Amino acid sequence: MRLAFFDTKPYDREVFEPVLKDAGIETVYYDTRICEDDCILAKDCDAVCVFVNDDVNRKVIDTIAEYGVKVIALRCAGFNNVDYKYANAKGIKVVRVPAYSPYAVAEHAMALLQTLNRKIHKAYIRTRDFNFSLNGLTGFDLHGKTVGVIGTGKIGRVFIDICKGFGMKVIAYDKFPAEGSGIDYRPLEEIYKEADIISFHCPLTDETLHMFNRGTINRVKEGVVIINTSRGALIDAEALLLGIRERKIGGACLDVYEEEAGYFYEDQSGKIIDDDTLSRLISMPNVIVTSHQAFLTREALANIASTTVKNLIDIDSKGISENEVK
Query: Active site includes 292?
Result: yes
Selected catalytic residue, list 292, 298, 322, 324 = 292
Distance (Å, whole) CA 282 – CA 274 = 13
Residue 307 CA, distance from chain mean position: 18
Cβ neighbours for 306, distance < 8 A, ≥ 6 positions apart: 19
Annotated catalytic residue: which of 96, 108, 231, 258? 231
The burial class, CB within 10 Å (0-12 / 13-18 / 19+), for 120 is: middle
Residues with Cβ within 8 Å of residue 87, at least 6 apart in sequence: 56, 61, 72, 93, 94
Reference 55, options 34, 85, 32; nearest CA is 34
| Cα-based angle 222, 226, 229 (whole degrees, multiple of 5) | 175
Looking at the annotation, which residues are catalytic?
231, 260, 292
